[in-house]
Structure 1
Amino acid sequence: MDANDGFRELDRQECLGRLVTVPVGRIVYTRQALPAVLPVNFRLDHDSAVLVRTSASSHLVSAIDGAVVAFEADEVDADAHSGWSVVVMGSAALVTDPAEHARLLRTGPMSWAPAPHEVFVRIAPESVTGRELMGGHTQYGVHLPS
C-alpha cells in the first residue's frame, strides 16, 4: 500500500474495537449463485465472533448456515472525508446448543424486527481486516483546502 494514499491498515484489535462502536453491518453471501448483501444488526461475542439474531424461517439462515461469508461494517464522516471499514470473513453456523442459545437470549444482539421464533447465527472470524481513511480533502494526491 502506498504511504501517500491516505489509508492506514488496522490491526485485528483495532478492527474489533471499531466493530463494537457500530450497530449495523452487512453480510455478504451467495444466494441462487449470485452475490447478495444484507444489512443486519449484530454484536460481537466474547470470542470475537459476529452474532446475528434473525427469524428461524428467514432466507438468510438457510443461505448462510455452514457457508463461508463476509461481514462488513464501517463508519464514514463525509464532511471530514474520513472513515473506516472492517471485513470479517469466516464460516457461518446456526447456534444449536440450548445452553448457548439461552445465554445469547440474554447477552446477544436484540432483533430490530422481532419474529416468533428467532435463532442466532455465529460468524467465526477466520480473517479480520480493516483500513482507515485518514481525514483530509485530497484529489489525485494533492491536498485541497477545506
Structure 2
Amino acid sequence: MTTPNEYTRILTPEESLELLATQTFGRLVVQRTDDIDLFPLNYAVHDGKIYFRTAEGTKLFSVRLDHEVLFEADHVDHEAHEAWSVIIKGSARPLVSSAETLAAEDYGLEPWLPSFKYNFVEITPRDISGRKFRLGEEPQRY
C-alpha cells in the first residue's frame, strides 16, 4: 500500500476485490472499432473474477468483438466520510458450457429489469487498481 497523500490510499489487488464483493453495481466499458460504450450493470465477484448477465444486444456483441474491457465500481460512505473506487482491466468472455452457466446461476445475479438475460459473462482481471479516499471539505484556496 502506498499513500500518495493523507486523503488517498492505494489498495492492493486483494483489498480491491474484497471491496468489489461488497457491492453489486458497476460499469463496464467496451470498445468496438471506432466507438466506446459504457454500460451500468449489476455484477458478482467469485474466485477473483467478475460476472454479469446480459441479453443479446450491444453489450454482448461488443464483448464478443473485443474481449478487452474495463470494469469500474465505487462506493461512498457518507457517515464514515470515505469512499473507494476500483478499476479492472481485463478480458471478458461469454460463458458457453452448460457447466459454467449452471455454476454462474449460483452467484446471485438477478436481472434488475423484468427481462430475459440468458447470457453470463466472466471478466478475468489482468490489472486491478483501487483507491480509498477520506472525504472532507475543500481547503481554503488563499
Q: TM-score, normalised by structure 2?
A: 0.85
Distance 1:99 1:6, change over 3 A: same
- Which SS does the other structure have where 1:116 is aligned? coil
User: Hey, what does 1:132 align to over in structure 2?
Assistant: 132
Structure 1 residue identity aligned to 2:103 = R
Give the share of equivalent positions with the same residue, in percent: 31
Q: Which runs of 5+ in 1 are unaligned?
A: none
The worse-fitting range, judged by mean Cα deviation, of 119-128 and 106-115 is 106-115
Aligned length: 140
- Which SS does the other structure have where 1:50 is aligned? strand
How far is the alpha carbon of 1:141 from its aligned partner? 8.6
User: Hey, what does 1:104 align to over in structure 2?
Assistant: 104
How far is the alpha carbon of 1:24 from its aligned partner? 0.2
1:39 aligned onto 2:43:
no
Distance 1:39 1:116 in 2: 17
- Which SS does the other structure have where 1:125 is aligned? strand
- Which SS does the other structure have where 1:126 is aligned? strand
How far is the alpha carbon of 1:119 from its aligned partner? 0.8
User: Hey, what does 1:68 align to over in structure 2?
Assistant: 68
Distance 1:90 1:119 in 2: 19
Asked whether the equivalents of residues 83 and 134 of structure 1 are also in contact (C-alpha less than 8 Å), the reply is yes
How far is the alpha carbon of 1:114 from its aligned partner? 4.6
Distance 1:5 1:92, change over 3 A: same
Distance 1:75 1:112, change over 3 A: same
Asked whether the equivalents of residues 4 and 141 of structure 1 are also in contact (C-alpha less than 8 Å), the reply is no
- Which SS does the other structure have where 2:125 is aligned? coil
Distance 1:30 1:5, change over 3 A: farther
User: Hey, what does 1:88 align to over in structure 2?
Assistant: 88
Distance 1:22 1:33 in 2: 32
- Root-mean-square deviation (Å): 2.5
User: Hey, what does 1:7 align to over in structure 2?
Assistant: 8
User: Hey, what does 2:50 align to over in structure 1?
Assistant: 50
Q: Which runs of 5+ in 2 are unaligned?
A: none
Structure 2 residue identity aligned to 1:137 = E
Distance 1:97 1:78, change over 3 A: same
Q: TM-score, normalised by structure 1?
A: 0.83
Distance 1:117 1:79, change over 3 A: closer
1:26 aligned onto 2:27:
yes
Q: Any runs of at least 4 consecutive aligned residues in structure 1 with deviations exceeding 6 A, and if so which?
A: none
